[in-house]
Amino acid sequence: MNTSYREVSCPQCGAPALFHPDNTYRPFCSARCRLIDLGLWADEQYRIPADLQPSDPEDNQ
């Protein structure tokens, strides 16, 4: 059984964070970074670009 866990960079601040079940904030380093990220999602800062123009079915023929 592999009991070693890796250290990753916090996606918010870049600080090292242990990727381990004991780190309740993983992959973040702290509750602060986790809440900042949640706030960005709530403010719709993370978006996936999409084509909002409806396609014309006749164009596909």
Q: How many domains does the chain have?
A: 1
How far apart are alpha carbons 29 and 54 in whole angstroms?
42
Instruction: Judge whether 39 lies within some domain.
Output: yes
3-61 pLDDT, tens digit per residue, is: 678 999 999 999 999 999 999 999 999 999 999 999 999 998 888 888 777 666 665 55
Q: What is the CATH number of the domain that holds 10?
A: 3.30.50.10
Instruction: Judge whether 60 lies within some domain.
Output: no
pTM of the model as a whole = 0.66
How far apart are alpha carbons 57 and 34 in whole angstroms?
44
Instruction: Judge whether 52 lies within some domain.
Output: no
Residue range of the domain that includes 11: 1-45
